[in-house]
A and B are shown apart, each in its own frame.
Chain A
């Protein structure tokens, strides 16, 4: 087969409910077969609409959706080979676990014996055998999620679409079910598209993270690329873990520029091929865990940028300590200090510190 069956391509995908304001505008994206793809964005960014268009529950206003190389716009979900797991699972309240999972086979007219044989095998796979005859209302959130997953997977879809699958669960269960989702995806070997507003969830699960804002893709790529190398301020702030400063280009010298901002002096930023000229407004990102906090007067290592600041707040996070520093302009300034390092010489609120980072770890944003 030239084109793999679960590969998805979105081309110029656009959706507007009233014909005036687009909810999704001109989205282009390729998702390879068998990938775990997360759409990440705040509510109202159009991520769920894209999912529902792929599923066949909404029709695009414009553009194409190709699954396995075939345009599926206008086809019902069954003919697309997709299956959807709904946000609150939408389990049928009057049917037992077994009959919920068997539903797709039942409406296909499969006889009872064969239907239950396949269903019971799936029930085994998601470890629900003991709860087979329970009704959804008698299950916990995590169990309900497994039923929903099994019900969607029983038809052997080539793409499984998950709409905020973990949002109905409490924190601990969410982390547990998260890894279960990933395990199921590996076992089934099919494409998963997962919509979430949690960056933690997205980067923990996804092969491909797609960050969205106002109906458009801001950045897409491997989880690590998106997290460590955000393209712009929006992506950097949404994924977190970065300090973003804005300022102007002071001087350009060779492959470095010097950032000029009211509270900063002489902060050098690597240029990495970007083309800017003196006076341009720019955003710069520095990872929060790249920042070292030193007492005033300490000697800095070579090629280090630094900034005098003050400790405004301290939060213990277990494996690291979150130190809130004096904001730079209107931008938050935070350092994640490894726990042992912090308690070697604990800082107090109000202490004056030097915040320093290796100069070439700063990133110029678009």
Chain B
């Protein structure tokens, strides 16, 4: 009882200080220290890549190191026309197709497993642990294992078969984890309300569950696509005779000594950013349209 009146003036001055601080416009030194740290981080992150992007725009005399020689799109054209750099076009289209396939399967399976995990069922802990297990398994070893197994079964490895499977072992646990986080904000009463109002199970999924979870599903799709698009370790031993794009880039680093390698780096980065941009844009648009969420209890 006696503590309450004593604590009150302290709380009041504290509130006052907090209210006044921003209007003075003075920030503590820690703000600048942390800003500097973050700027350094971004530079360290993008600096090496920016070098590659810049060097990919050289003209025909261009080499693999600075200084920059001329400015043209020569190496981009070279990338898609010259045969000696390998089958970039084919690898690119295979990677995109594979990523789309992986994305579709990841979204559907993650959604269904999140629906299943809404209620407890016998062995749910084991299923969950096994799933996380495949996430921590070393990718290269897992890829070799998949390759061996296909070999043992007498099935040819291929990017659309064994590599798809190996990549799913990586994207599915991620997708399911994201869906779990999304589902934790799903109010089960929405489903009951739909049932109460006469919706069939299918109508409930189509008109309530999927639209409500849509931003989460887009996030899962984004994960699936980017994880697959630049997956290397699991794909290396499972892609079969035809390379995916990351494998192609890797083999190019071995035998291509022209800036077309850099041009390839620039193109794949642009694609990645486009996918991320479109996904995030979609989510932002959905959230905006939806406004603030109804408070939950």
Nearest chain B CB to A349 CB, angstrom units: 16
Whether A108 sits at the interface, judged by CB under 8 Å, is yes
Whether B136 sits at the interface, judged by CB under 8 Å, is no
Nearest chain A CB to B183 CB, angstrom units: 14
Contact among B193, B196, B198, B292 for A92, CB-based, below 8 A: B193
Beta-carbon contacts under 8 Å, B176-219 to A: 187, 189-190, 192-200, 203, 207-208, 211-212, 214
> Once bound together, how far apart are the Cα atoms of A103 and B199, in whole Å?
9
In the complex, identify which listed stretch (A81-89, A216-224, A290-298, A314-322) lies at the interface while the others stay far away: A81-89
| Cβ–Cβ < 8 Å partners of B295 in chain A | 88, 168
Nearest chain A CB to B290 CB, angstrom units: 6
Contact among B194, B196, B211, B296 for A94, CB-based, below 8 A: B211
Whether B297 sits at the interface, judged by CB under 8 Å, is yes
User: Is B291 a contact partner of A137 (Cβ separation < 8 A)?
Assistant: yes
A interface, CB within 8 angstroms of B: 55-57, 76-78, 82-84, 86-94, 103-104, 106-108, 134-138, 144, 151-152, 155, 168
Whether B294 sits at the interface, judged by CB under 8 Å, is yes
Contact among B189, B198, B214, B292 for A86, CB-based, below 8 A: B189
Nearest chain A CB to B166 CB, angstrom units: 36
Whether B293 sits at the interface, judged by CB under 8 Å, is yes
**12 pairs of residues in contact across A and B, judged by CB atoms under 8 Å:** A57-B196, A88-B296, A92-B193, A103-B199, A107-B194, A107-B200, A135-B291, A137-B291, A151-B193, A152-B197, A168-B295, A168-B297
Inter-chain residue pair count (beta carbon < 8 A)? 87
The interface bits of chain B over 229-242 (1 if a CB of A lies within 8 angstroms of the residue's CB, else 0) are 00000000000000
Nearest chain B CB to A351 CB, angstrom units: 23
User: Is B212 a contact partner of A93 (Cβ separation < 8 A)?
Assistant: yes
- A57-B192, A93-B212, A94-B212 are known contacts. Are A137 and B293 too (CB-CB below 8 A)? yes
User: Is B193 a contact partner of A55 (Cβ separation < 8 A)?
Assistant: no
> Once bound together, how far apart are the Cα atoms of A151 and B211, in whole Å?
19
Nearest chain A CB to B9 CB, angstrom units: 27
Contact among B197, B211, B297 for A83, CB-based, below 8 A: B197
User: Is B196 a contact partner of A107 (Cβ separation < 8 A)?
Assistant: no
List 7 extra interface pairs beyond A107-B200, A152-B197, CB under 8 A: A78-B198, A82-B196, A84-B193, A87-B297, A104-B198, A137-B292, A151-B197
